[in-house]
Amino acid sequence: MGAKDNTSDLYREAVRQARDLLRWRSPLRAELWASRLAAAGPEGTAEPLRRRAAKDHTREAHLLLTALAAVEPLPTDRAEGPLEAPPERETEIGLEGRPGAAGEGSEGGRLEADARSGVRGGEAWMELMGRALVDGGWYGMADPYGEQALAILSFVYPNGKEPHLAVVAIDQAHGGFAVDAVIEEPKFLDDLDVRPADPALVAGRILDAFDLTDAVMGAPVADTLPAARAIVLARARSVHDPIRHAPDDTVTSFDDLPDLPGADEAFATLVEFVGDRPSWWSPARVTRFLKEWLPREAILSEAAISAMPQVLRAWTRHLGDRPEVLERVEADSRDLPLAMADELRFSLAKRLRLAQRPDQGTDH
């Protein structure tokens, strides 16, 4: 007996679900369904589903083809197929769709007749899939310490209905990859500490984060991410000219540097430490900076060492003024001069740099 055809099982289940979606007439609900469907089987499942649907002259098959085209682009080398591929991929997350305004009266009877006669003619609500328009962007911290960031894009369909958000959680503590994604209602923004941002910039950060996720084998992502991947990526790719690999503006927007000797040097050293994840600033990160990284790697003047606590206080205020972070700055900076003078803590690279200095003077 041959191996079981899992694609056939998936197709039959998809047709069953499509019957219910045809009653809802919700573009968003159908796109979310297609995104989940694309993630339901092994990679490449969408293509055999398309091939099966292309042989059927039913409303369910037409819905399946249209929804998959909205979230999973058709291969460019495919000659057959009734739909043209949109320029982006999409993923889904759990937002309940809403029924459309149209009823199931005479139009429903006509469409049933079309299906029976093999006509695949389009229903207006289906033509909205894959055509949601971006109308806003936000970016900010997902948690008090910025270990994750939230990149958010808002969309609405051309008919003004079903406004929704594409939300991506971007890891900061482990490299900046996408760890979760959802489609949410606009009210989701109400309780978030995020600020408006250029949608092109937000879209670029989402695409960059997914690229990193794909590059990290076994990246620790949420169980909900696969189902949302297709629709979220499609939404990000639909934004005109996304800005890729843009630096975080957390550093450039900082304008509270203390007017102290050595403050510029101290801040430049802090920027070197935070790197491309400047919004991640927790008590543990403060400790690592002051007690480990600075003594091991940094060569600072006495003025910069003296200014460092005040620079860190200002930086902490810039990132939300968390009292527990300020307390850690106070506690861990008390012995900074002694730690910076302790040669046993110096890394080999720091020792070599010091050895090459013609005159160390008062520098450590």
pLDDT at res. 90? 36
pLDDT at res. 7? 74
Distance from C-alpha of 36 to C-alpha of 14, rounded to nearest angstrom: 11
pLDDT of residue 191 exceeding 80, the answer is yes
pTM over 0.75: yes
10-52 pLDDT per residue, tens:
899 999 999 999 999 999 999 999 999 988 867 667 888 888 9
pLDDT of residue 195 exceeding 50, the answer is yes
If one compares 7 and 171, the residue with the highest pLDDT of the two is 171
Confidence of residue 351 (pLDDT cuts 50, 70, 90): very high
CA distances from 117 to 51, 64, 121, 178 (A): 20, 18, 11, 46
Retrieve residue 196's tokens: 């408006």
Spacing of C-alpha 355 from chain mean position: 45
The amino acid sitting at 325 is V
pLDDT of residue 179 exceeding 60, the answer is yes
Looking at residues 107-112, what average pLDDT do you find? 38
pLDDT at res. 8? 84
